[in-house]
Amino acid sequence: MQKFSIQFDPMTGEKYINVPFTKQQLVEHPIYNKGSAFTEIEREQLGLHGLFPRHNSTIEEQLHRVYDNFSLKETPIEKFIFLLSLLDRNETLFYRLLLEHAEEMLPIVYTPTVGEAAKTYSHMFRRPRGLYIPADQISQIDRILESSPFSNISLIVVTDGERILGLGDQGVGGMVIPVGKTSLYVVGAGIHPALCLPILLDVGTNNETLLNDPLYLGVRHKRLTGERYDEVIEEFVKGVKRHFPHALLQWEDFGKHHALRLLNRYQERLCSFDDDIQGTGAVTVAALYSAIYGKNEKLKDQSYVFFGFGQAGYGIATLLMHALIEEGLTMQEAKKRIYPVGHNGLVFEDMNPHEYQEPFARHRVQDWQNDKVDLFDTILNTKATVLIGTSGIFGAFTENVLSQMAKNTEKPVIFALSNPNNKCECTPEQAIQLTKGKCLIATGSPFPPVILNNIEYKISQCNNMYIFPGVGLGAIVSMTPKITDQMFIVASKALAAMVDHESGKLLPEIHEIRKVAENVAFAVAQFARDTGMGIRLPDEQLRTAVQHAMWKPEYLAYRKD
């Protein structure tokens, strides 16, 4: 394996890269390729004459060219394939393009378009990216990890493909998620793409459509379970610790029966977190800070109803509980503010709740003796002021539900967080109309502004990208051995602090993502330092360390290694 690094010439002050290749091999490597932008000197010294047309392009000229071609693509999946092919040719240009057109292109490279790419993965496969680890080859984990493009990996995103977005089991097609997430780390936090490694653990699939597809690229058997599954995960973690002992690992899109268990098992052994649990929780709590504090109220004075209580609901409720305790409540008092509603209604302790629901299950009360207390009854009886949906059920927030929220409080907080858009519990337009423009709303997928009575209401998206890139960067810079829930609380506060309450938004604009990641990373690194888990630098030097770690997609000079 090679080691990627950016050098600094102490004599000239020039930043440069030592390249290990020349000639055709150099231009076929997406990390090093500049395309037509190789300078005359580089073409001479690196044996590139004749491989490109005569003109030496600037990166601005290249951006103009690729954006024109991108704009010719008519469907989101065509745009996705075009961007993926650019990523496979020239990573610097790809990331520069994404940064300059973030609002337009991030929904293409990740949700919602990435879901369609996962479903058709085996049919549109072109070039491998990241590492594939089949369960029957786990004994060769060291050899597989040695196939990583670079030795100094700082970030790993891994999935087993079981719970891809709202689509469920996509088997080997789940690889598009780690690839997409590492791209978001680069765009958001500036972690250099050479230091990022997407991984797919192929433990089989229970998706019959995939198993019967002659073009399916994954292993063709049912998903491993029980001890055999755990053995695969254990050997994988051991391998990561041997080869990349200082890397951050993000668990991504694991099934609900594995995600929390794996997080709890390994978070003390490995610097790791689960974005579906903790990242979703942090960005939602940040939006809650903005909404509630923007009303000059306190989190502890609200009544929270959750509809849907799997990984996302549990993650939000757990971090919310920490935030409520910070405002002076005991743990029991904090839990009493939270009402989880599942498909059988309000979750009571005698209903054999799932492990996610159990910590927040309610005692039955005399007035609520029905076996099933539905969403509307819960909102009515609790006088709910905050309604959070992570159910994946389109239209679950009915007219009665939304109207009752408006009766309970002057400015109800309504978060319909399920994605993609066709799984959203209600549309922003429905919520705004039925609350007569009073609600504070956020969604899981992007929605356009809503106009009611000539007033434009901007819709905030609870996008995990506001959190996980900064948390990851802060962990890497601080060199913390573990990531705690409290780090996500400080990340939430740093994010909420960037919101202008007069704007009507609950979260910053997506084009501010680099500044968001910097502030979140700084807050996490500060917390790691102050709790004895991170490097001990004064604030100014710590901020500078974070800024220096954020790569800017630009062409540097090349020298032959």
Is there a catalytic annotation at residue 314? Answer: no
Cα–Cα–Cα angle for 145, 149, 151, rounded to 5 degrees = 70
Select which of 181, 423, 493, 505 is catalytic: 181
Name residues whose C-beta falls within 8 Å of residue 175's C-beta, 6 or more positions apart in sequence. Answer: 121, 129, 130, 132, 159, 161, 198, 200
Within its chain, how far is the Cα of 381 from the centroid? 35
Q: How far apart are CA 84 and CA 91, in angstroms?
A: 10
| 373: its two tokens | 């207390």
Q: How far apart are CA 184 and CA 252, in angstroms?
A: 13
Select which of 32, 34, 95, 110 is catalytic: 110
| 128: its two tokens | 């491998």
* Contact (CB, 8 A) for 258 and 252: no
Given the structure tokens 């809650």, which residue do they identify? 288
Q: How far apart are CA 399 and CA 190, in angstroms?
A: 43
Strand order of the β-sheet with 338-342 is 345-346, 338-342, 304-307, 386-389, 413-416, 440-443, 460-461
What type of residue is 198? P
Q: How far apart are CA 127 and CA 262, in angstroms?
A: 30
The SS3 assignment for 455 reads strand
Is there a catalytic annotation at residue 229? Answer: no
* Contact (CB, 8 A) for 510 and 463: yes
* Contact (CB, 8 A) for 347 and 361: yes
Residue 230 buriedness (CB in 10 A; 0-12 / 13-18 / 19+)? middle
221 Rama sector, left if φ>0, alpha if ψ -120 to 50, beta otherwise: beta
Name residues whose C-beta falls within 8 Å of residue 167's C-beta, 6 or more positions apart in sequence. Answer: 115, 118, 119
| 80: its two tokens | 């996705």
Q: Tell me which H or E stretch contains 251.
A: strand 248-251
* Contact (CB, 8 A) for 33 and 42: no
Looking at 190-277, list the stretches that DSSP marks H as alpha helix, in order from N- to C-terminal side. Answer: 208-211, 226-243, 256-266
Cα 342 to Cα 256, 264, 365, 427, distances in angstroms:
14, 23, 18, 20
Q: How far apart are CA 407 and CA 384, in angstroms?
A: 10
The SS3 assignment for 105 reads helix
Name residues whose C-beta falls within 8 Å of residue 188's C-beta, 6 or more positions apart in sequence. Answer: 465, 469, 470, 513, 514, 516, 517
- Could you give the residue numbers annotated as active site? 110, 181
